[in-house]
Amino acid sequence: MAKDKTGFKLIANNKKAYHDYFIENKYEAGIELYGTEIKSLRQGKCSIKESYIQIQNNEVFIIGMHISPYEKGNIFNKDPLRTRKLLMHRYEIRKLTGRITEQGYTIVPLQVYLKGSLVKVEIGIAKGKKLYDKRQAIAKKDMKREAERDFKVRNL
């Protein structure tokens, strides 16, 4: 969770999304949060592994995102799994709506990060992978890892 020179600090990453889906387009969205949720996110207490994104009444919502309660928040803490609204431009929401009406497309959260003082979510339009696609991806990773290992051994 190191902050780089641009003010980008990664809070949560969804590696499972890259394994289960082909990511075609990526969008950046803000999240509507309360004060104690922001403080908890700054401490890095967030999980998006089981979350998904839904569009209702031309508004985008993230469902299943877990933000742990802030320890010092007492009565001000909200439900950790509550549905949160994502903040996007109207034309981006229309694009997303058009794409998910096509067969096989869905919207998945890819990562949550701090950009300056704002919390952002990167979401992607994704198409599900078949089992054989997943096997091919694993095989490619193994071959790449093996090649890097051989290269490292030769250069020592």
Q: What is the pLDDT of residue 94?
A: 86
What letters, b where the CB count within 10 A reaches 16 and e where it falls short, cover 48-82? beebebebeeeebbbebbebebbeeeeeebbeeee
Mean pLDDT calculated for residue range 12-19: 82
Return phi, psi of residue 55, to 5°.
-110, 125
C-alpha to C-alpha distance for 92 and 95, rounded to whole angstroms: 5
pTM of the model: 0.73
Model confidence pLDDT, tens digit, residues 103-155: 778 888 988 888 888 888 898 888 877 777 778 888 888 888 888 887 777 77
Domain 8-129 has CATH 2.40.280.10: yes
- Residue 1 confidence class, pLDDT cut points 50, 70, 90: low
